[in-house]
Amino acid sequence: MPDTKKFIENLSGAGKCIGVLTSGGDAQGMNAAVRAVVRMGIYVGAKVYFIHEGYQGMVDGGDNIKEASWESVSSMLQVGGTVIGSARCKDFRTHEGRLHAALNLVQRGITNLCVIGGDGSLTGANLFREEWSGLLDELVQSGEISEEASQIHSALHIVGMVGSIDNDFCGTDMTIGTDSALHRIIEVVDAIMTTAQSHQRTFVLEVMGRHCGYLALVSALACGADWVLIPEMPPKDGWEEQMCYKLSESRLRGSRLNIIIVAEGATDRHGNPISSNAVKELVVRCLGFDTRVTILGHVQRGGTPSAFDRILASRMGVEAVLALLEASPGTPACVVSLCGNQAVRVPLMECVQMTQEVQKAMDEKRFEEAVRLRGRSFENNLNTYKLLSHRKIDSELPHSSFNVAVLNVGAPAAGMNAAVRSAVRVGITEGHTMFAVSDGFEGFYKGQIKEIKWGDVGGWTGQGGSLLGTKRTLPAKHIDKIAEQMRIHNINALLVIGGFEAFESLLQLVDARSRYEEFCVPMCMLPATISNNVSGTDLSIGADTSLNAIVETCDRIKQSASGTKRRVFIIETMGGYCGYLATVGGLAAGADAAYIYEEPFDIRELQSNVEHLTEKMKTSIQRGLVLRNENCSENYTTDFIYQLYNEEGKGVFDCRKNVLGHMQQGGAPSPFDRNFGTKIAAKAMQWISKKLKEFYREGRVFANTEDSACLLGMRRRALVFQPVVQLKDETDFVHRIPKEQWWLRLRPLMKILAKYKTSYDVSDSGQLEHIVRLRAKDISAI
């Protein structure tokens, strides 16, 4: 088979001019996208221009369109909003305005546009592209451009990136800015919960989302809100009584607070708006609860972008430049989007039409269809929320007579508690009796096993660490006693939440099945480790929270280095032998280098990095940031690298080092980890229920097939159950890492954005995909 690999070295931007603009409402992460477009464009030899103030700047021309340099995007990564400005532009909506814009672009030779904005901005860009040849003809006729200029600039190429905090654009799982907006909301909710608890209050929170309830829905899922009101799924008539009943019931069960989240565009089934104040008055009138309203407003747009948004925007920015380089006159305008964990390109107008269809379905009160059109991610969030929030009364529950135990194994990871809460509540809803095991397998063999009820896990989503307690102890040493405890408590299924130790534990239990029938039960493992070093999954619960802690610290360190000038910081991250945190943290923090075990380096590479930093100090960016994974090399320790840089950089820069340590393991879980933990635990419990029914024979559960002990992981675009036995071959047990790791493909990206010449395999990109109308096959995938 011929080698079909494509490399960046073979793509040239020489002679091309790219214009980059941000338009419409601002969103955190837009600057990271601008930075990636500028640097990738310059890297491939193109000229890149900032178009300030969105389309208004394109129409007005002059100083609004300026050539960008490598240094001009320095220090943008960590800044919220958009540094190049954004504006709503009436002029561009007129033919005359677009004619001015075309002239301004042709005068500078710009025929490639990268538009970062919402669906309005992208629709405008597509119209501009369709009119382009007509506009040029008009400019030739009026004598403003020559016939030759019209020929040279005959095709306008457009690539869009969606920057919108509402996540209201079909065709991508996440838009730039959504994750950061969720961070702002969750920070507020966490703060409100402590005061609400003190006074036994009910809080009504209004979040943004005029036409899209994504922020309201996911923040409700991430904080375990009692009720959520979103435009896509208005509550059924009589919801007022239902809501008040639910609030009073939760108080009777001992809860000291209630949280209700309202999207600003929430309505009832008849299209009447439901305001946060109306909800407050309803609660006060019906229940007499002390109730307060908090409207978050523009706080959600502000602040620094999260690690997720920086990585998403950087990946999208690079992909956008590749799409522009590969575009031919017949290529339709496309949007660079995210599907699961993969960057894809989709035709811009297909996305816009789908987005408009959602609104049409809502207007015509076809609400189920509106939810389906929003995409698999939205639908799954809604289903998970419904599953977890509405507690059925005992008489309504199916009674399964199965006992399911849940435990944490390995080091703590933020989001573990959200997963436990979700598993317990879904398990109870499925009719099982849920048991919690304290302190991992150590607690298991000691008999620290007790039943856990619905109310016991209230408020767990926002808690960091592991409330069940977790230990690194593996079961093999105490296999007899663990089997005995399984027998005593009649455990019919196991859910193990943890990192590499959890994976090894499951393998040991499967191995023990031939000797102990007690282990012939369905078992499922959820990956939860900050190191993200488990085979079978691209992402693990806890890694996102850890990345945010790293990035936040790096931002502060960069700020300190900017003040003192000519300073390089060497920062050591955790991860064992896995370089995920160092690499992805480096990409999100704008590091100059990241040393990891998976990519061996020698003294020559260290030397070239020092020389690279020496060159950098001659520019206006007089600071450096180098990340080092804790186990990247036995001999090139953090101290060694620090001393080497100090010695070699004498007279040019000085050095400081910082070992981040256990702060990477602590803290409240990020919205992503809460949501990811909640969703995969719910999916795992449904799988366990299915397997229990499947393996129930003659009054007992007996499961000893390979597919009855699985790991549930995110693989590219979908959540997949994989037998742990089959994952053995994919694992390097000595270094506790998978043999193949997807994020290694991001390393060249980090190097390119730090101005290193490198080889970059771009075979994965370049496929234009169509939106499958309802993505029916995918709906169950995530």
* Catalytic positions: 166
Q: 34: how many CB neighbours lie within 10 A of its CB?
A: 29
Paired sense of beta strands 567-573 and 623-629, if any: parallel
| Contact by Cβ (8 Å): 319, 230 | no
Name the nearest CA neighbour of 98 among 129, 76, 68, 63. 129
* Vertex 718 angle, CA 779 and 170, to 5°: 55
Q: Which residues pair with 713 in a beta bridge?
A: 720
* Pairing outcome for strands 709-715 and 700-701: unpaired
The dihedral of CA 22, 27, 33, 35: what is its sign?
positive
Quote the CA–CA distance of 528 and 673 in Å, as a whole number: 9
| Cα–Cα nearest to 182, from 19, 299, 327 | 299
| β strands within 245-361, DSSP E | 258-263, 291-295, 334-339, 342-347
Residue 102 in contact with residue 55, Cβ under 8 Å?
no
- Measure Cα distances from 772 to 167, 171, 344, 350, 779 in Å: 19, 9, 14, 10, 11
Q: Are 308 and 316 in contact (CB under 8 A)?
A: no
Instruction: Tell which phi-psi region holds residue 516, choosing left (phi > 0), alpha (psi between -120 and 50) or beta.
Output: beta
DSSP H or E run through 546: helix 543-564
Query: Using N-to-C axis directions, what is the helix angle for 376-389 and 214-223, rounded to 10°?
Result: 40
DSSP H helices in 86-226: 95-108, 119-141, 147-152, 178-199, 214-223
Can you tell me the distance from the alpha carbon of 602 to that of 578, in angstroms, rounded to the nearest whole number? 18
Determine the residue type at 612. Answer: H
Residue type, 521: V
Dihedral sign computed on CA atoms, order 142, 148, 152, 154: positive
Q: Which residue has the tokens 């939205």?
A: 378
Beta bridge partners of 160: 115, 335
Write the burial class of residue 514 (CB in 10 Å: 0-12 exposed, 13-18 middle, 19+ buried): exposed
Q: Look at phi and psi of residue 330 and say left if phi exceeds 0, alpha if psi is from -120 to 50, else beta.
A: alpha
For residues 747 and 482, give the distance between their C-alpha atoms in angstroms, rounded to a whole number.
Answer: 43
Name the maximum alpha-carbon separation found in the chain.
Answer: 91
Q: Are 672 and 554 in contact (CB under 8 A)?
A: no
Residues 6+ apart with CB under 8 A from 658: 553, 557, 569, 570, 571, 572
Token look-up 């910081």 returns 569
DSSP state of 115: E
DSSP string, 482-535: HHHHHHHTT--EEEEEESHHHHHHHHHHHHGGGT-GGG-S-EEEEEB-TT---T
Strand duo 334-339 + 157-162: pairing: parallel
Structure tokens at 585: 């943290």
Give yes or no for a contact between 179 and 544, defined as CB atoms under 8 angstroms apart: no
Let me know how long the chain is: 782
Q: How far apart are CA 125 and CA 133, in angstroms?
A: 14
